[in-house]
Amino acid sequence: MTEEKQNNPSFAFKSIPLGQSVELILDCAQPAKTGESRYGTWNLWFGMVNGVTVTEGRKPNTKEISNYSGKVIFFPATKLNEKLIAAANGNIEVKVKVIKTAKETQKGLITEYLVEKLSDGRPVESSVTPTETKLINEASALKKQGYDVTLDLFIKASQEPQYENKISIERAKKLYVMLE
């Protein structure tokens, strides 16, 4: 993962001019990796772009590349991340158009990104559904925080309403071995 991240330039949504849009093909149905920094939660995605400005390298040695086409990494803000997950709907290679707009609030103008789905992509060939991935990711996060996530606790959690009764007890037992 780290190797791939270093080889792909980074696309920043803030580089889209106001009122303009960018088309992306999402390589994943949800963030490839999620983490925490001092600025909050970050979500790493991979995708394909055509004719956009990207950044290569790490600060302070970054270099801007204009009119780039190819694979990129990107870190959408929380609300945009949610919209991308919804647009992907569990599929990969979904083509989306992200439009940068501004809306006026009591605090002034705020940037808003609208997501328009242009194609459905194709189902993930993985045997793990988005709902199952959500359970695994949440349990894994608890383990990283020092909680002891036992098989019994994992099975009990799999039957909670947020997993929409889509995970059987037998399937939860198989998923438990995927925990990091």
CATH of the domain at 89: 2.40.50
Residues 163 and 110 in one domain: no
Q: Please check whether residues 107 and 46 belong to one and the same domain.
A: yes
For residues 103 and 171, state if they share a domain.
no
As given in the structure block, the two tokens for residue 129 are: 């559904």
Where in the sequence is the domain holding 142, given as residue range(s)? Answer: 130-176
* Contact indicator for 71, 46 with CB cutoff of 8 Å: yes
Q: How far apart are CA 166 and CA 148, in angstroms?
A: 24
Pair (99, 146) in one structural domain = no
Q: Quick check: 101 and 18 in contact, CB under 8 A?
A: yes
How far is it between the farthest Cα atoms of the chain?
A: 53
Residue 40 sits in the same domain as residue 79? yes
Mark whether 13 and 86 lie in a shared domain: yes
Mean pLDDT of 133-160: 91
Share of the chain above pLDDT 70, in %: 94
Spatial contact of 17 and 100, defined as CB atoms under 8 Å apart:
yes
What was the pLDDT predicted at 74?
Answer: 96
Residues 61 and 37 in one domain: yes
pLDDT-derived band at 171 (thresholds 50, 70, 90) equals confident
**Is residue 132 predicted with pLDDT exceeding 80?**
yes
Residue-level pLDDT at 4:
39
Where residue 126 falls among pLDDT bands split at 50, 70, 90? low
What pTM was computed for the model? 0.66
Same domain, 152 and 167: yes
Mean local confidence (pLDDT), 139-147: 90
Asked if residue 97 lies in contact with residue 126, where contact means CB atoms within 8 angstroms, the answer is no
Domain end marker among 99, 123, 147: 123
Quick one: 99 and 153 in the same domain? no
Shared domain for 137 and 68, answered yes or no, is no
pLDDT digits (tens, 9 = 90+) for 24-62: 999 988 898 888 889 889 999 999 999 999 999 888 889
Q: Which of 126, 113, 52 has its CA nearest to residue 82?
A: 113
Q: How high is the pLDDT of residue 125? A: 65
Q: How far apart are CA 133 and CA 33, in angstroms?
A: 12
Domain count of the fold of the chain: 2
